[in-house]
A and B are shown apart, each in its own frame.
Chain A
Amino acid sequence: MKVTVDPERCQGHTLCAMIAPKVFELDEVDGHSSPVSEDVPADQEDKVRQAVQSCPEQAISITRATA
């Protein structure tokens, strides 16, 4: 699974990092989110799906990695 956060949409609600703190990091100055890495560890996939559903701005996208 790959994950991206659209920086134009993200407004720093921080729910993604609350749900999946290993996957999303928040900017120190404005709290906007970005993925630690584009590739999501297998054990984090459920949490990332939850983060996608929880983002008020719908700023997070996931794609299935093509092998």
Chain B
Amino acid sequence: MSTDGARDDDRKQPRYQFDRHTPQYRHEFQAITQEMHAQCPIAWSDTHGGHWVAAGNREVFELARSAEYLSNDHDVKNERRGYKGITIPAPDVDFQGGFLEMDPPEQRHYRQTLNPYLSPAAVARWTPVAAELVRACLNEKVETGQIDFVDDLANIVPAVLTLAMMGIPLKSWSIYCEPVHAGVYTPPDSPDMPRVRETQMAMYRDMFAQLAEIRASPRPGLIDALARAEINGKKPDDMELLGVMALLIGGGFDTTTALTAHALEWLSEHPAERDRLSRDRDTLLDPATEEFLRYYTPAPGDGRTIAQDCELAGTRFKEGERLWLSWAMANRDPAVFDNPNEIDLARTGNRHYSFGLGIHRCIGSNMARMVFKQMMTGVLDRMPGYRCDPAGAVHYETIGVIQGMQHLPATFTPGPRIGPGLDETIDAMQRACDEQRLAEPVTVRKGKAKIEL
């Protein structure tokens, strides 16, 4: 035992005390990242039961793409090897985090089931709906000269659109919105946590009800696809499907909100860059979107479990060890990015890892980009000179799960409403979903949504 222990100590080098769940990690992110890049692009940390951390761009690339040696499995019923999924430390839950906590072939079968709803061609069909939702959200505030970009825009549009794609009634968005965001930013020991848990339970009850309803009386969308799916030759049980639905909702909501809020905050601090982005949006909005993704990395990393002893990126790993792949730190590596800690809206060669790498690439990446761009252009058009209020901006206390914002108030020169408000628009979008069967897969329905208000 002692020899093994000594040998292990020898192998688990270099060591770095890494805890991404502390406020200190958020405040000192740049310094910690630079230190790890210089000294230990892969390090062993004793925190959270002990785990590896990959911070270097090339190291993260090599590890993330070595799917045969890594497992995403979250074996909640302890039927396989007891692996703990993609969160370090593993949360105390009794269902898997969808296909992001599975390995092939099940993972592949789920993605094949859902890809036709989320591919670039599939997502492009929803652009008019996103544009209407943005217009309507801005309408609610445009005459007042005051808006909270998180509460009044960036929380709402991704939520409503995600529900539309799933086949959940759009007016239910408020059942889903609060628990998803508050579940991320509320510390486990907060006095508010019991209330947040209660809203989460209400959301799960509604998800179950939707699944049952869609099974009994099918309507198109991601839930319908899941209800019909055969995964590796069998029908998944309801708890497994609940995990998949929670993954789609969690992935669809808070991440895009986080990206939008940070981008709007940065542009407020750099008004000349904001004017340039607005003026040159035809060529600049695409690279600027990738740059905000790189710099702010809304989902800052993923955990893995080493599935067999191996040597990768110069480190010997043992089966069962946990590994944190830091997309956020890899995105700041000076070996790959010039001036990595600066935002360059026109950056080229921007091979960021903000949607992950390899077979688990974020399945909602196309949707995230589309919705983000719609929100940005909506604000640039209708509140072009907005100023965020730094005293009112609330960033998530920690960035261990999502690098997000809770509030981002801003003021601007009031302008006129255009068309109906939010409730009326949501009703109109619901009719469009129902009448045009917008949530069909792209294999069934090709055309863009047609909007009539």
Contact = CB atoms under 8 A, between A and B. Distances in A.
A43 interface: no
B290 interface: yes
A26 B124 CA distance: 13
B442 A54 contact: no
Contacts of A28: 119, 121-122, 442-443
B377 interface: no
Q: Which bucket holds chain B's interface residue count?
A: 20 to 34
B119 A30 contact: yes
A29 B290 contact: no
B253 interface: no
Interface stretch (B217-225, B269-277, B357-365): B357-365
Interface in B171-203: none
B65 A57 contact: yes
A55 B119 contact: no
B385 interface: no
Nearest to B123: A31
B348 A50 contact: yes
B278 interface: no
Contacts of A58: 61, 351
A46 to B, nearest CB: 10
B366 interface: yes
Contacts of A29: 115-116, 119, 121, 442-443
Interface in A6-20: 11-15, 17-19
Contacts of A19: 286
A58 B443 CA distance: 29
Most chain A C-beta atoms within 10 Å of own C-beta, residue among B61, B350, B443? B350
A56 B348 CA distance: 13
Interface string A53-65: 1111110000000
A54 B350 contact: yes
Interface in B47-106: 61, 65
A27 to B, nearest CB: 7
Most chain B C-beta atoms within 10 Å of own C-beta, residue among A14, A17, A50? A14
A62 B351 CA distance: 17
Most chain A C-beta atoms within 10 Å of own C-beta, residue among B61, B355, B361? B361
Contacts of A15: 290, 350-351
A64 B112 CA distance: 36
B335 to A, nearest CB: 14
22 contacts: A12-B361, A14-B366, A15-B290, A15-B350, A26-B120, A26-B121, A29-B115, A29-B116, A29-B121, A29-B442, A29-B443, A30-B115, A30-B116, A31-B115, A31-B366, A53-B348, A53-B349, A54-B351, A55-B351, A56-B352, A57-B65, A58-B351
Q: A-B pairs with the 5 shortest C-beta distances?
A: A53-B349, A11-B361, A31-B119, A30-B115, A28-B121
